[in-house]
Structure 1
Amino acid sequence: MLLQPAQSEIIPSEVDTTTHISKRISIRIPLVSSPMDTVTESRMAVAIARQGGLGVLHRNLSIEDQAHQVDVVKRSEAGMVDEPITISPDATIGEADELCGLYRISGVPVVDAEMRLLGIVTNRDMRFEHDPTRLVGEVMTKMPLVTGPVGIAGDDAMRLLAQNKIEKLPLVDPQGRLKGLITLKDFVKSDKYPNASKDPQGRLRVGAAVGFFGDAWERAMALIDEGVDLLIVDTAHGHTQGVLDMIRRLKSERAASEVDIIGGNVATFAGAKALVEAGVDGVKVGVGPGSICTTRVVAGVGVPQVTAIHNASRACRPAGVPVIGDGGLQYSGDIAKALVAGADTVMLGSLLAGCDESPGDLVFINGKQFKTYRGMGSLGAMAARGRKPSYSKDRYFQSDVGTDDKLIAEGIEGQVPYRGPVEAVAYQLVGGLRQSMFYTGAGTITELQERGSFVRITSAGLRESHPHDIQMTVEAPNYSGQ
């Protein structure tokens, strides 16, 4: 099917692609990175949030590792870091250097046991030190430092940084205790990424996937403690009692009151309605449409994605619950089709798996670059890795399977073409969406959903839609040969 053109009074650069991923969270572009272990870890989550979308961290990690990834995203960019990384003066500069490398920061405030600011140790202090066992207290820049009061305005903080030619401004209370940290790089990043998805504290937004079985509750609470913005109770079949019970429990938990809860995956009106009645803030739609998913073949179960999105939206829209179309996207034009069908955002796997920021390995095959990509239902994702258990089995309701050779795979492993940085890929995808909105005369996502209409095409029409009767010699950045 295709979208039909309509009278337009707007040009692509004037359209507004802002939308909601959940009831309380809006994003500037309708792109969400999938919680897959070859797609989204902290680096991808940071990159996609800076473009105006949102990343969802996969759960094929220990609780500690996944929570740490949330922390990394939250610390990557902040208007003010209210719990800055600190170090003791009795630590070694080797430990300080390791801490800076872990969090990708250039310096660490030095405090005593009562959090009183004693100084700061930076790369500049350690650059010419050759003994990693030297104590931080011996090489740090000691007090008095240029500091600011708690609650300082952004403009005043920037003025202090500029006047004193410093990159970090510790915030202290009247007793000299460290209460926060403002860095110059955050102002620079705010200017460079004006559309970034940020929480009320100025930190990048990030989501994370959890299950409903075993350690799921402990995992959810750990992620909430680290400041995650939304949780997705993420399973292959969201219309199940265990998923509904987990959603209700999270929605009733006081600690989770500031975190939006999304449920999935479903593919029917009844499934979406059940999630809405359980209290979700968003519904994730898609059973088997992914390029690496074999559920529709192995289990013989699924619903074509446009139909699934449309049916789910009929249950979600009256309740004001956003829909996430998860999977089945090959080109930028498919994003617009998903939105017209009823989605508010789309979740991307293969389109982002080839980016620099994805965790997959980069490989060369016949002179071309590829990155590894696998389904979370593949044997590689569900199987134990040495002594490390798999946290993906329960997504496919196989946590009770004792040995790897008894697993029933619902996905494959492969590779996708290397695509470069997320920034370039997101630009092309959103650019294609802007063109779609121009052709249909829609200035906003809401108008696109209301005004867009489909026309059914045949297989001949599909062939006509693609380049034909020509040998392609140069690939476009948004279209490659099949």
Structure 2
Amino acid sequence: MKNEKLKIEEIFNGATYSDFLFRPQFSAIQSRKDVDLTMSLTRNIKINVPIVGANMDTVTREKMMKTLSLEGCFGFLDRNCSIDDQAARVKYVKRQHSYVIENPIVIQAQNTIEEARRVIAAQNISSLLVEENPGNGILAGILSHRDLIAAEDRDQMLVKAFMTPFRKLITVGPDITMDKAERIMIENRVEKLPLITKNKKIKGLITLKDLRMVKQKPYSTKDKKGRLMVGATIGVTGNFMDRAEALISAGTDCILMDIAHAHSEVMKEAVKKFRSKFRNIELVCGNVATGAGARFLMDLGADAVKVGVGPGRGCRTRLEVGAGVPQLQAIRESFLAVEGKIPIIADGGVSNDKDIALAILCGASTIMMGSMLSGTDESPGVVVEDAVTRRKVKMYRGMTSVEAFLDGNAVGYNAEEAISQAQSQEGQSLTVPYVGSVTDIIKRIKDHLCSAVSYAGEKDLLSAHKKISADPEKYLIRLSEAAKRESFER
């Protein structure tokens, strides 16, 4: 892309979030509860809250992924694990809180109670459908939590001795409506409703808990079958195509092809390989920090571009290498370069909620968050007490940190190579304050984004994004140092 510097407005050169405020506009909103925050994640996926969990092993694994999608957000499972482990996490999330569980976990009538307990613990579920014989899919009964209580200290006895047999079950056909299923379950005082054919073949399962969750959270990020949507990450070398195939087979809705410097030949070759086999899956590529990089990825076939080189707390690229672009400038360059054809995911540098608003008003569609989510109950890891401050904290680390490298990516290196690689990593590990549930953070961000839409004089976030990003010099104020102190020091 030629003369990309000429395309960016002067106020954005060298600028980031703390350099701006935007002018308040007349608001016609009666209630901020009516504000719509829907934005595009990719070319074909929209989410109701523009928050994306970072693909980091201290941020987004199955628990965080499930919660984010349930709350109308999104996330990407990290790849710092085996292919099988990552695919298993995808399958776990896809089974959670859908109207119909299409492939419920089953066990055979001839299995032991001990084997059933192991499956229930591994899958984090409360009951199992029981099939007559291995692989035949014919429903024989249900083994519930109450049945397992009755089987206490009888682990070597068979499942069929304690399960609720088929003749006592309430079952329905696979085409039942949501309302009718709820009515049947309430009338018969059951919490599980197997879906079967006339020949008793298992076709799915409806649980009262999931059915009510669907009604309570209609804004959740779900696929066409009513299942929670899942994102997962791959690299660009080695077995990345095997990983992609396993993740897509497991039900992944969106793949993130993620490397530190995506404006590169290695990314180009990887995208070509990926698109030669997977033409219809949504693909996000990153990271880049320039308009030329964003246009490069779009032209390769990316459905969204992830923007940010070095702004995050877990990244030391700018400190160690000197490469990078101030984050708001990078967002603006990328937004102008792709000309609205695909969305921009702003990754890194967000320290508070006003940064999220500014990123979207200046060109981003969604915001990827790492450190702001890593101190929550839903992030991986345990809460510990800081030895000095005695405050509760959790670990957060960049995926190019030494610790992350040694935990996952060092596989395949000999000792000398591993030491050399570890010493040249561009990430860091640190602790972040423990802040409770991520749902509280999401609610706070939603409230502040609704306020930002009101101050922008619009009724929905997309309209505010379009208005201000179309003419930022009309609405943005570049702050002096004195104005920054007045605005942000409290």
Instruction: Normalising by structure 2, report the TM-score.
Output: 0.90
1:345 to 352, 366, 379: 366
1:322 aligns with 2:354: no
Distance 1:94 1:128 in 2: 13
Q: Which residue of 1 aligns with 2:284?
A: 262
Supply the AA of the counterpart residue of 2:454.
Answer: F
Which amino acid letter does the alignment assign opposite residue 187 of structure 1? L
Equivalent position of 2:156 in the other structure: 133
Task: Please state how far the C-alpha of 1:103 moved relative to its aligned partner.
Answer: 2.1
Distance 2:233 2:410 in 1: 11
Q: Matches of 2:313 and 2:416 in 1, distance apart?
A: 26
SS of the equivalent of 1:56 reads: strand
2:41/2:47 contact within 8 Å kept: yes
2:322 equivalent to 1:300? yes
One of 208, 215, 221 as aligned partner of 1:197: 221
Displacement of 1:317 in angstroms is 3.2
The more displaced of 88-97 and 344-353 is 88-97
- The answer on 1:5 being equivalent to 2:29 is no
The match for 1:106 is: 126
Name the residue aligned to 2:12.
Answer: none
Please state if 1:211 is matched with 2:211. no
Relative to structure 1, is the Cα distance of residues 20 and 429 closer, same or farther in structure 2, using a 3 angstrom cutoff? same
1:182 match: 206
Rounded Cα–Cα distance in structure 2 between residues aligned with 1:369 and 1:380:
21
- With over 3 angstroms needed to count, the CA separation of the structure-2 counterparts of 1:229 and 1:328, relative to structure 1, is same
What percentage of aligned pairs have identical amino acids? Answer: 37
**Residue 48 of structure 1: CA displacement?**
1.1
Normalising by the residue count of structure 1, what TM-score does the alignment of the two structures yield?
A: 0.91
Relative distance call for 1:188 and 1:281 in structure 2 (3 A) is same
| Pairing 1:436–2:458 present | no
Shift of 1:447: 1.4
Measured in 1, the distance between the counterparts of 2:411 and 2:482 equals 41
2:37–2:462 Cα contact (<8 Å) kept: no
Q: What is the alpha-carbon distance in structure 2 between the residues aligned to residue 358 and residue 401 of structure 1?
A: 33
2:246 aligned with 1:222: yes
SS at match of 2:417: coil
User: 2:59 touches 2:379 (CA, 8 Å); kept in 1?
Assistant: yes
Deviations 1:330-362 (A, max 9, x none): 111100110012100000001000111101331
Aligned length: 457
What is the CA-CA distance between 1:450 and the residue it aligns to?
A: 2.4
Gaps of 5+ in 1: 469-482
Closer, same or farther in 2 for the Cα pair 1:410/1:190, shift >3 Å? same
Name whichever of 399-408 and 410-419 sits farther off: 399-408
Q: CA, structure 1 residues 100+405, in 2 after alignment: closer, same or farther (shift >3 Å)?
A: same
State the match for 2:87 in structure 1. 67
Q: Does 1:371 align with 2:386?
A: no
Q: Do the aligned partners of 2:410 and 2:418 also contact (CA within 8 Å) in 1? A: no
Which residue number in structure 2 is paired with residue 411 of structure 1? 427
The 2-side partners of 1:262 and 1:244 are apart by 13
CA gap of 1:28–1:318, structure 2 versus 1, over 3 A, is closer
The change in CA–CA distance for 1:461 and 1:251 in structure 2 (over 3 A counts) is same
CA shift in 2, pair 1:357/1:91, >3 Å: same
Q: How does 1:117-156 map to 2 (within 5 A)?
A: 117-129=139-151, 130-144=153-167, 145-156=169-180
SS of aligned partner of 1:358: coil
Provide closer, same or farther for how the CA distance between residues 188 and 400 of structure 1 changes in structure 2, counting only shifts above 3 A: farther
**Are the counterparts in 1 of residues 255 and 284 from structure 2 also a CA contact under 8 Å?**
yes
CA distance in 2, matches of 1:240, 1:399: 27
Contact 1:312 1:323 in 2 (8 A): yes
The residue that corresponds to 2:75 in the other structure is 55
Distance apart, 1:467 and its partner CA: 4.1
Q: Which amino acid aligns with 1:456?
A: R
